[in-house]
Copies of this chain bind each other. A is one copy, B any other.
Amino acid sequence: MSAQRCVNILGLGLIGGSIGVGLRERGWFVCGDDQDSSRVSLAFERGIIDAMGLRADADVTVVAAPVLAVPQLVQRALRETTGVVTDVGSVKSHIVAACDNPRFVGGHPMAGSELEGLDGADPNMFDGAVWVLTPSSTTADSSFSSAAAMAAELGAEVLALPADRHDQVVAVVSHVPHLTASTLMGLASERAEEHAVLLRMAAGGFRDMTRIASGHPAIWLDICAENREAITATLDGLIAGLSDMRNIVASGDRDALQERLRSAREARANLPVRGTHPTELAELRIPILDRPGAAAEIFTLAAELGVNVASFEVVHSVEGNRGITVLLVDATAVERYRGGLIARGFRPSVQSLS
């Protein structure tokens, strides 16, 4: 039986609370702290944490605070603890640049709730969700693997990505959709002054499209400040797309309209389904070379090649820092992945599990 693992949660809001209660239910010892001490007491009373305050020898410390507050809290965690430090901020480049340390790896669990604060804390919030980690060349293999193992234990699918790439992607799949929902809601609300019935006529599709406009504005101000460049570039792309669409409708170009609607429909239908796991798995054993960031590189390559990692483990050898990464991946993708790994200087061995 392995020793009980321990996590510090620094910031006891919706996400921090969910990680805390989720890991506690899975047998971890959970410590928690927050700048608001009444939250710490509340989390303790509700059984979300086992102990108040940080423990210096915790395996992992999770900084779960608004993006602008993250760098300072990561520095505090690096000072006060000896383990791995990760965060959950929705924009990563600035944070990763400000927290350059082998013990730190940036993170972004892509899940949430319409509830706020500890009231929304849910041990299964991350089940089937994507949890992005953004290791840099400074990140130690062991830091990356600890953070990835914690996310996987919460049921999340771990994706490793460079921080700047993460920020470009979330601008498209999260930040700009949010700003668009708000703009659409604003437009409808403006037109409702003229047409009193307008909001009563807002049926399911409109409700779906504007649901995310219910999010709390405060976090979005920080997100827009931190990811300004990618957001404005993506908004430019969307505005250009809508102008195109407008001209197609105005000119009555049926073929062009049909092609756009058809390809969007097809892309929507092909969105990956959450929480499905590949039916046939293959096992890859990859000796970790004696170079920094190897584990992160192995994961990043999987993400780039679209290879779903169902589970993984880092087995350390007795000779210090070297070890073997054991991954279970979709059997249909294993050859593609193996080729990519070899091209990058790894020496993977494959074993079919069927």
Residues of A within 8 A of B (CB): 110-112, 129-130, 132, 157, 159, 161, 165, 168-170, 172-174, 176-192, 195-217, 220-221, 224-225, 228, 231-232, 234-239, 241-246, 249-250, 252, 254, 257-258, 260-265, 267-272, 303-306
A214: nearest chain-B partner, CB-CB: B268
The 9 tightest CB contacts between A and B, nearest first, are: A182-B264, A189-B267, A217-B261, A205-B212, A185-B264, A235-B246, A183-B241, A110-B203, A173-B202
A266: nearest chain-B partner, CB-CB: B189
Does the CB pair A213–B268 fall under 8 Å? yes
Given contact pairs A169-B198, A264-B213, A267-B189, A205 touches B184 in the complex (Cβ within 8 A): no
Pairs across A and B, CB under 8 Å, 12 listed: A112-B203, A172-B187, A174-B206, A180-B184, A180-B242, A184-B238, A186-B260, A189-B263, A197-B306, A209-B212, A210-B268, A221-B258
Does the CB pair B173–A188 fall under 8 Å? yes
Q: Knowing that A183-B238, A216-B265, A220-B261 are A-B contacts, what are 12 other residue pairs whose CB atoms are under 8 Å apart, sorted by A's residue number?
A: A111-B204, A172-B187, A181-B205, A181-B209, A182-B261, A196-B306, A197-B306, A213-B264, A221-B254, A221-B258, A232-B249, A235-B242
Does the CB pair B199–A272 fall under 8 Å? yes
Q: Which chain B positions have C-beta within 8 A of A203?
A: 110-112, 129-130, 173-174
Q: Which chain B positions have C-beta within 8 A of A305?
A: 196
A262: nearest chain-B partner, CB-CB: B217
Q: Which chain B positions have C-beta within 8 A of A206?
A: 173-174, 177
Does the CB pair B269–A249 fall under 8 Å? no
**How far is it, in angstroms, between the C-alpha of A185 and the C-alpha of B245 when the chains are bound?**
13
Does the CB pair B184–A197 fall under 8 Å? no
Given contact pairs A130-B201, A213-B268, A177 touches B184 in the complex (Cβ within 8 A): yes
**How far is it, in angstroms, between the C-alpha of A192 and the C-alpha of B245 when the chains are bound?**
20
CB distance from A158 to the nearest CB of B (A): 11
Does the CB pair A209–B243 fall under 8 Å? no
CB distance from A234 to the nearest CB of B (A): 7
A190: nearest chain-B partner, CB-CB: B237
**How far is it, in angstroms, between the C-alpha of A172 and the C-alpha of B192 when the chains are bound?**
10
Given contact pairs A203-B111, A246-B232, A187 touches B225 in the complex (Cβ within 8 A): no
Q: Which chain B positions have C-beta within 8 A of A214?
A: 265, 268-269
Given contact pairs A168-B195, A204-B112, A304-B196, A228 touches B246 in the complex (Cβ within 8 A): no
Q: Which chain B positions have C-beta within 8 A of A198?
A: 169, 172-173
**How far is it, in angstroms, between the C-alpha of A168 and the C-alpha of B190 when the chains are bound?**
13
CB distance from A308 to the nearest CB of B (A): 8
Q: Which chain B positions have C-beta within 8 A of A197?
A: 159, 161, 169, 303-304, 306
**How far is it, in angstroms, between the C-alpha of A228 and the C-alpha of B270 when the chains are bound?**
30
Q: Which chain B positions have C-beta within 8 A of A261?
A: 182, 213, 217, 220-221
Q: Which chain B positions have C-beta within 8 A of A110?
A: 201, 203
Q: Which chain B positions have C-beta within 8 A of A249?
A: 179, 224, 228, 231-232, 235
Does the CB pair B196–A225 fall under 8 Å? no
CB distance from A291 to the nearest CB of B (A): 24
Given contact pairs A207-B271, A232-B249, A264-B186, A195 touches B169 in the complex (Cβ within 8 A): yes
Q: Which chain B positions have C-beta within 8 A of A237?
A: 187, 190-191
Does the CB pair A252–B268 fall under 8 Å? no
A186: nearest chain-B partner, CB-CB: B264
